[in-house]
Structure 1
Amino acid sequence: MKLVRTIAEIRDFVREARAKGCRVGFVPTMGAFHAGHESLMQAAGRECDVVVVSLFVIDPGGKCVMLGGVANFGFAEVGANSVGQLLEPVEEGADRLF
């Protein structure tokens, strides 16, 4: 799984996958990953060739933002181990995390 931080990167990835004839599945998520998200990722994986998962988080001010937009805040404050735990459910279920 690769972390994609910009809209341009995800557009390029999806465009290239489609050009190769791949079906692209998209699983939007918010907050901590849970069994429901994992189930959706597994279903997308069964029906599609590649899976993109988006992760929205809530910043301290209560604003909903994309993970890439708060990476400096989130990763610095929670530490590498917590980030690894946060992303564990995605690693086997997604080709890209946006």
Structure 2
Amino acid sequence: MKLSPRIQQVCELTLQGHSNKCIAEKLGVSIHSIKLYKVRLYRYLGVHTKQELRHKIMGEPVRIEAESKLAAYQAYRVQGLSYKEIGRLEGVTPDHVRTYVYRYGNLHI
């Protein structure tokens, strides 16, 4: 299945941060149509959220919600993210991430 030009437009506008209402107005279609395009887009790409869509299309890492800071940091490291990338996602310095992981998790990945 190849994405139609319309679904590609919806994808681009979604990644730019536009709401469904705004996208519908820009493309001259109903909000219901936009929702259907998004369902098709998400199914085709195998994603469930806008964050996952951004990761799939733009290669940006997805922010992880975890029960603890340590669990989130460890999950990021398993994905192959550097301390710098984790720090950027979490809003802390790379040194903070590194220190936290080694102090509380003794993780060596």
TM-score (norm 1): 0.27
Structure with the largest fraction of helix = 2
TM-score (norm 2): 0.25
Which structure is richer in relative contact order (CA contacts within 8 A, separation 6 or more)?
1
